[in-house]
């Protein structure tokens, strides 16, 4: 299995990787810490991230490079053998509404969040061709199809496109026995929110608490098995009752 976007111990990718490893899967993790370094939350110590996971095989690559997705899949296969699942968890975060968004940010968000995801799926499917077992692809969106997200236009556009392409990718890959499912985890507490935002968002959950990364990891782990084909082409809104 290949899991992208594993660069912070507070992140969803880390929780997914930890859960899959606990379930006995052999995984390769991808990261690009330079993105985190540009964000308000900052980067984590990548060596410590990998050490806490037991130092699994790792590929670092900037998915803004159009050649990177195929290279990441190729390197992952060389490190772990044929891949039976892809979890495209990586994301470029971006703020800015209609008045602030730039062509450059639209292009970069699209390159990382949308183009790279499709090219990862393309490369994964190519290496899976001829495999005897079923395969699984889990994509990640962020709830843009359920309500407005003002102030994040480039992110909304690029991640919403992932949700929209899910059914088409599923139809194209069904003949190979590859299930494609998209997960919308809703707001997840990965350490990016300030205290006021955390309290306001928590109040919109019936439980009074944010979704935690391990909650999302449980869903993703389930979807890397037979559930992927049973639910192929669908988006799972695993938002824990979040009220928009």
Q: Is 40 within a domain?
A: yes
> Can you say how many angstroms the Cα of residue 143 is from the centroid of all Cα atoms in its chain?
13
Cβ proximity of 191 and 93 under 8 Å: no
Q: Is 243 within a domain?
A: no
Q: Is 213 within a domain?
A: yes
pTM, two decimal places: 0.96
Per-residue pLDDT of 181-219, as tens digits, reads: 999 999 999 988 888 999 999 999 999 999 999 999 999
Structural element, H or E, at residue 42: none
Whether the pLDDT of residue 227 is over 90: the answer is yes
CA distance linking residue 4 with residue 63, whole number of Å:
10
List active site positions: 155
Q: In this structure, are strands 178-184 and 135-140 parallel, antiparallel, or unpaired?
A: parallel
Per-residue pLDDT of 12-70, as tens digits, reads: 999 999 999 999 999 999 999 999 999 888 999 999 999 999 999 999 999 999 999 99
Q: Is 73 within a domain?
A: yes
Q: What is the longest distance spanned by two Cα atoms in the chain?
A: 52
Domain count, the chain: 1
Per-residue pLDDT of 65-113, as tens digits, reads: 999 999 999 999 999 999 999 999 999 999 999 999 999 999 999 999 9
Give me 67's structure tokens. Answer: 């050649």
Could you give the 3-state DSSP secondary structure of residue 223?
helix
Q: Is 49 within a domain?
A: yes
Per-residue pLDDT of 108-146, as tens digits, reads: 999 999 999 999 999 999 999 999 899 999 999 999 999
171 Cβ contact partners less than 8 Å away, ≥ 6 residues apart: 233
Q: Is 151 within a domain?
A: yes
Domain CATH code at residue 150: 3.40.50.720
Looking at 145-212, list the stretches that DSSP marks H as alpha helix, in order from N- to C-terminal side: 153-173, 195-202
């Amino acid at each position: 299995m290949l899991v992208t976007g594993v660069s912070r111990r507070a992140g969803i990718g880390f929780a997914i990787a930890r859960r899959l490893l606990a379930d006995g899967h052999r995984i390769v993790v991808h990261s690009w810490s330079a993105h985190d370094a540009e964000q308000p939350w900052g980067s984590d110590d990548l060596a410590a991230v990998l050490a806490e996971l037991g130092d699994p095989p790792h590929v670092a690559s900037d998915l803004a490079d159009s050649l990177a997705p195929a290279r990441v899949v190729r390197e992952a296969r060389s490190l772990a053998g044929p891949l039976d699942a892809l979890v495209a968890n990586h994301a470029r975060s971006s703020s800015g509404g209609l008045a602030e968004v730039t062509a450059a940010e639209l292009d970069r968000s699209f390159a990382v969040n949308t183009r790279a995801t499709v090219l990862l799926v393309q490369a994964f499917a190519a290496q899976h061709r001829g495999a005897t077992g079923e395969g699984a692809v889990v994509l990640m969106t962020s709830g843009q199809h359920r309500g407005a997200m003002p102030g994040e236009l480039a992110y909304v556009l690029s991640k919403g496109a992932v949700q929209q392409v899910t059914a088409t990718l599923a139809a194209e890959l069904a003949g190979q026995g590859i299930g494609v499912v998209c997960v919308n985890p809703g707001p997840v507490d990965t350490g990016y929110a300030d205290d006021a935002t955390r309290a306001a968002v928590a109040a919109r959950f019936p439980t009074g608490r944010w979704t935690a990364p391990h909650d999302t990891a449980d869903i993703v782990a389930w979807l890397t098995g037979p559930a992927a084909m049973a639910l192929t082409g669908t988006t799972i809104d695993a938002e824990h009752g979040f009220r928009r």
